[in-house]
Amino acid sequence: MADTKHTKVLIIGSGPAGYTAGVYASRAMLEPILVQGIEPGGQLTTTTEVENWPGDTEVQGPDLMVRMEAHAKAMGCEIIGDIITELDLAQRPFTATGDSGTIYTADAVILATGARAKWLGLPSEERFKGFGVSACATCDGFFYRGEEIVVIGGGNTAVEEALFLTKFASKVTLIHRRDELRAEKILQDRLFKNDKIETLWFHTLEEVIGTDTPLGVEAVRVRNVKTDEITEIPCKGVFVAIGHSPANELVKDTLELHMGGFVTTKPGTTETSVPGVFAAGDLTDHQYRQAVTSAGMGCMAALDAERFLSEHE
Ligand code: FAD
Ligand code: NAP
């Protein structure tokens, strides 16, 4: 028989949104259960220095997330290492099925499943994934000591990854499809001052080229978007940093979505299109996508859930 657990509030996700919801829902005496998912701590565990978390001039992303987990736990949140594979929102109590076999029933649900790295969708990218192609510099940068690396993208992630990779690489080429970066000015300044980084404007990745035995990257073929000219850049590592898509698999057929998959919430609240289901953080937010805004929405979701439960029970 499957183990069944009932809770007033089920929080799905353990990034800044989920843990903050855990702190607030615990303090509201709702005895929440938080299911962590495949990436305990969320996206910030894949980075190093975080310099815009209020109260910390600089903090390591993974350390911040360990602190958030401890905070939620100390307030009384039950934190479970499981992955929700199905979520039935047709009736209350809602039912979530865990990969462990546990069935969770909940009077209210807070969705905080965040976002995942996007890929370009090239067959050669797929072929070399894990063998020279990566979307996480902090996870894989170490393997490219003394090698040449390319980074694709022009946002904060691409620029931070390029800067981080200079710790290992002999040279980093940032390849961007325009001649203007989306990244914050402070990061752009650091990028342009770094002698190890070259920027290649108006170019896109066409193909990753490499060997079969051993499987590994030797170069990338890039296209000038203005002239269509194709050139090759030798490199051993390719870091794709072209943004993130909302992790909406559990609700893409049951909740209202916008902008290509972000869960829609009623303006000024975290209420979704199903009463009793709240959403917070990068899952709902196509615009700001920051740790602090996600945490803020996690707080709002717990307060919204508390109000909903007191009105309905
Ligand atoms: P996430 O952090 O994405 O967490 C989602 C959580 O949901 C994870 O724990 C995952 O395991 C869980 N989950 C997903 N699916 C399931 C499921 N089916 N069942 C159970 N759990 C599930 N922001 C800043 O403010 N400052 C920075 O310096 C900064 N640096 C960044 C560096 C990098 C490399 C990246 C990628 C992002 C960075 N960001 C930064 C953005 C920031 O990390 C995100 O805005 C923030 O983490 C979003 O929080 P979240 O709680 O919405 O979701
Ligand atoms: P992003 O801001 O969406 O930037 C994605 C970049 O990839 C853009 O420059 C985009 O180009 C490019 N791109 C998208 N699709 C492409 C494609 N198919 N081919 C080539 N290039 C493509 O994503 P992000 O950098 O991952 O950042 C996500 C969020 O996390 C942001 O809100 C960001 O502020 C936050 N974040 C914050 C920090 C920090 O505070 N230090 C660090 C990392 C991330 P265009 O510019 O031409 O659209």
CA distance 42 to 283: 12
Pocket test for ligand 1, best of 113, 186, 244 (most atoms within 8 A of CB): 113
Q: What is the mean pLDDT of residues 278-291?
A: 95
What is the predicted pLDDT for the residue at 2? 76
Q: Is the CB of 42 under 6 A from ligand 1?
A: yes
Q: From the centroid of its chain, how far is CA 300?
A: 20
Domain locations in the chain as residue ranges: 4-116+245-312, 119-240
What is the predicted pLDDT for the residue at 165? 97
Query: Mutual orientation of helices 61-75 and 16-27 as an angle, nearest 10°?
Result: 20
What's the CA-to-centroid distance between 15 and ligand 1, angstroms?
5
What is the predicted pLDDT for the residue at 1? 64
Q: Is the CB of 178 under 6 A from ligand 2?
A: yes
pTM of the shown model? 0.92
CA distance 14 to 18: 5
What CA–CA distances, in Å, run from 181 to 113, 206, 226, 258? Answer: 27, 20, 17, 25
Domain 4-116+245-312: CATH superfamily is FAD/NAD(P)-binding domain (3.50.50.60)
* Per-residue pLDDT band at 138 (split at 50, 70, 90): confident
Encoded tokens for 310: 């007191």
Burial class of residue 54, CB neighbours in 10 A (0-12, 13-18, 19+): exposed
> Is residue 157 a contact partner of residue 184, using CB atoms and an 8 Å limit?
no
Active site residues: 136, 139-140
Q: What is the pLDDT of residues 144-198, one digit of tens each?
A: 999 999 999 999 999 999 999 999 999 999 999 999 999 999 999 999 999 999 9
Which amino acid is present at 231? Answer: T
Q: What is the mean pLDDT of residues 8-22?
A: 98
Instruction: Count Cα neighbours of 236 within 13 Å in the Cβ-side half-sphere.
Output: 15
What is the predicted pLDDT for the residue at 64? 98
Q: Is the CB of 109 under 6 A from ligand 1?
A: no
Domain 119-240: CATH superfamily is FAD/NAD(P)-binding domain (3.50.50.60)
Q: How many CB atoms lie within 10 A of CB 165?
A: 26
Residues 6 or more apart in contact with residue 159 via CB below 8 angstroms? 174, 181, 183, 187, 188, 190, 191
What is the predicted pLDDT for the residue at 229? 98
Q: Is the CB of 112 under 6 A from ligand 1?
A: yes
Q: Is the CB of 113 under 6 A from ligand 1?
A: yes
> Is residue 78 a contact partner of residue 30, using CB atoms and an 8 Å limit?
no
> Is residue 15 a contact partner of residue 297, using CB atoms and an 8 Å limit?
no
Nearest-atom index, ligand 1, CA of 161: 34
Tokens 């028989």, residue? 1
Q: Is the CB of 134 under 6 A from ligand 1?
A: no
What's the CA-to-centroid distance between 156 and ligand 2, angstroms?
6
Nearest CA to ligand 1 atom 46: 291
| Three-state DSSP state, 73 | helix
What's the CA-to-centroid distance between 1 and ligand 1, angstroms?
34
Rounded mean pLDDT of the chain? 96
What is the predicted pLDDT for the residue at 100? 97
Phi, psi of 250 (to 5 degrees): -70, -25
Nearest CA to ligand 2 atom 30: 289
Ligand whose nearest atom lies closest to the CA of 187: 2
- The answer to whether residue 216 scores a pLDDT higher than 70 is yes
Q: What is the mean pLDDT of residues 87-94?
A: 97
What is the predicted pLDDT for the residue at 157? 94
What's the CA-to-centroid distance between 11 and ligand 1, angstroms?
14
Q: Is the CB of 225 under 6 A from ligand 2?
A: no
- The answer to whether residue 276 scores a pLDDT higher than 80 is yes
Ligand whose nearest atom lies closest to the CA of 81: 1
Pocket test for ligand 1, best of 12, 33, 35, 43 (most atoms within 8 A of CB): 43
* Per-residue pLDDT band at 222 (split at 50, 70, 90): very high
Among 42-51, 189-198, 291-300, the minimum mean pLDDT is found in 42-51
Q: Is the CB of 47 under 6 A from ligand 1?
A: yes
119-240 shares the fold of 4-116+245-312? yes
Q: From the centroid of its chain, how far is CA 248?
A: 12
Q: What is the mean pLDDT of residues 118-142?
A: 94
> Is residue 15 a contact partner of residue 41, using CB atoms and an 8 Å limit?
yes
What is the predicted pLDDT for the residue at 145? 95
